[in-house]
Chains A and B, each alone.
Chain A
Amino acid sequence: MALLEVEALGVVIDSPRGPLEILRDVGFALESGRILGIVGESGSGKTMTALALMGLLPPGARAQGSVRLGGRELLRLDERALCRLRGDRVAMIFQEPMSALNPLQPVGAQIAEPLRLHRKMPAAKAAAEARRLLARVHLPDPDRLAAAFPHQLSGGQRQRVMIAMALACGPDLLVADEPTTALDVTVQAQILDLLVELVEETGMSLILVSHDLAAVAETADEVLVLYGGTVVEHAPVAAMLRHRAHPYTQGLFAARPATGLFRAIPGSVPDLAALPPGCRFADRCPLAIAACGDGPPPLGLVGPGHRAACIRLEAAAATAEAS
């Protein structure tokens, strides 16, 4: 049994324009100690997926399907049970460290908080553990830094503080939602290095959500590509680098290849209030045919552990060969 099993996850949110289906039929499994990257652009639903796993969906959002952590169904749990899990078995770090940290509390106290909450540690012991965690995330001078406030730290330092906070109780799963997007590229590399290092040391699993395909490819073991709230491709990274099965993934790779030639995908991401019944990429897809609009394309197997949701996989493979 995998650590995390997600099956047919769907999220609908009420909006002034009616119910919006922001996630449809998302499914994947994650083993202990593995890193999954979730890649998508705006409107892909990648952040919603992360929030759904934590039970942190915004008010008015309804989740359906199944999310099982260690066999336990998370979607059926009430808020109290979820609170016990959050920060303890499953933790999350966010994109904007400045708004995710409390500006009025020293960082040491913020790191100690999960320890005091979930492990009932006395203050002094929690403070000592907090300093140890600061050192673990390679922050210099932990004793002095523990008393600092978030605004006195740089972006990269704040992100490390958030990671330390997430690590405090030794979670089984860490969900990182665009942890490096707001950081400079040199700091980004360090943070991603740190995350991999922690995964290898502690054996926890990591879900890395990002719009940056290359950063995810370098860091993760498997990649899940989302578009318009649906899974379009899911593969081990090595397989995906060799061969992209879905036209959208192919387009994404062509838009930012390592050699710097840009090729855009015409059009823009779908309006969630006006979703087509069939494949959500059809209006931008160079291979779309009439049948693409009939219904959601099934996830077909393309290779070991490699699936793509498209009814024109052979044509896609042919164009990939040609280019």
Chain B
Amino acid sequence: MTPPLLAVEELVRRYRRPRAFPWRRGEAVAALSGVSFAIARGRSLGIVGESGSGKSTLARLVMGFERPDAGRVLFMGEDLAEAPPARLRQLRRGLQMVFQDPVGSLDPRHRVGRIVGEPLDMLDGAARGDRSARVAAALRSVGLGASDAQRYPHEFSGGQRQRIAIARALITRPALIVADEPVSALDVSVQAQVLAVMKALAAEHEVTYLLISHDLAVIAYVTVDVAVMYRGAIVETGPTAAVLERPLHPYSQALKEAAPRLVAGRRRHRTRPAAPPGEPAAAGRGCAYAERCPLAQRRCREEAPALREVAPGRRAACHFP
């Protein structure tokens, strides 16, 4: 049986807060506490979370920029952390990334052609011969022109820069692209341009995405499955359409409820959420969401719920989904 494109097993990553005094160790913050999921080829996965959910840390671990404190990242069945440098170079051809900031993700001192061709230069020596052809093709596939390769990033708008970043991610013909908030920094009228390009490329080039976003509409447009993260753990998974239509976990429900809707009436149509009980779970034991959850009971504060199947194809980490 072919291994999934990407499999993440029990990833843990902790950071230490900078310490106030030299004799005290910084407080440990668990950015990720035991995250696991798998992505099959062709089934793009969305990760939804707000700040503090650990989604950016997850992106860095999946790409191999940092080592997890525990757990493994398996790309096409191989552990990135264990791969020897030559094999890692081959693997990286199949795994590329698009970043959030269209300005910061392109080196302002390099021309676009050099930027887009960078992964090719580093990872695919064999393709050097038709480098400029491949760069031109990549630029065309994101709706830009081959002549744009001569220009500098600052000559382009935010949406165009993000498309350049996508062209760069595509050039080694990766199987998986990790996209971390790819459109959050763009104007609304431009977001759709970039998302349309991403969706078209998924079909044409057989690219699967790991798409990270706080925006449910973006996730809905691009992905097939979704995982909702809260405070370093996955709280719900399932097919995107199903989860967004009928979220099972109280946090997913809160996310859906909070999303702005085009309804007039000075917010009278909104249900004011019950004031959260405010009592945090016993440190490290109960459900992380308990202090904000309107359904929280005593059991929630004492026992952390496991991510389990509560409906066909739907998993949620809640005692009372």
B68 CB, min distance to chain A CBs, angstroms: 25
Interface residues on A, range: 35 or more
Question: In the complex, are the beta carbons of B272 and A185 less than 8 A apart?
Answer: no
Question: In the complex, are the beta carbons of B258 and A185 less than 8 A apart?
Answer: yes
- Compute how far the CA of A257 lies from the CA of B217 in the bound complex, rounded to whole angstroms: 9
Q: Which residues from chain A contact B189 at a C-beta distance below 8 Å?
A: 41, 251-252, 255, 264-265
Residues A258-300 near B (CB distance < 8 A):
258, 260-266, 268-269
Question: In the complex, are the beta carbons of B262 and A184 less than 8 A apart?
Answer: no
Flag whether A314 is at the interface (Cβ < 8 A): no
Q: Which of A186, A211, A260 contacts B217 (CB 8 A)?
A: A260
Flag whether B196 is at the interface (Cβ < 8 A): yes
Q: Which residues from chain B contact A262 at a C-beta distance below 8 Å?
A: 191-192, 195-196, 217, 221
Q: Which of B188, B214, B261, B272 contacts A255 (CB 8 A)?
A: B188
Residues A180-224 near B (CB distance < 8 A):
184-186, 188-190, 192-193, 196, 211-215, 217-221
Flag whether A91 is at the interface (Cβ < 8 A): no
- Compute how far the CA of A241 lies from the CA of B265 in the bound complex, rounded to whole angstroms: 11
Closest-by-CB residue of A relative to B214 is A185
Q: Which of B50, B190, B192, B269 contacts A184 (CB 8 A)?
A: B50
Closest-by-CB residue of B relative to A254 is B192
Q: Which residues from chain B contact A268 at a C-beta distance below 8 Å?
A: 157-160, 187, 190
Flag whether B220 is at the interface (Cβ < 8 A): yes
Flag whether B306 is at the interface (Cβ < 8 A): no
Q: Jot down 14 A-B pairs with beta carbons below 8 A, ordered by A.
A: A140-B278, A186-B254, A189-B258, A196-B266, A211-B188, A218-B267, A218-B269, A241-B262, A241-B264, A256-B188, A257-B262, A258-B261, A258-B262, A262-B191
Spell out A's residues near B (CB within 8 Å): 35, 41-42, 140, 155, 184-186, 188-190, 192-193, 196, 211-215, 217-221, 237-238, 241, 251-253, 255-258, 260-266, 268-269
A189-B270, A265-B190 given; 18 more Cβ-contact pairs under 8 Å: A186-B255, A188-B258, A189-B260, A212-B188, A214-B261, A218-B269, A219-B266, A220-B266, A221-B266, A241-B263, A241-B264, A251-B189, A253-B262, A255-B188, A260-B220, A264-B193, A268-B157, A269-B157
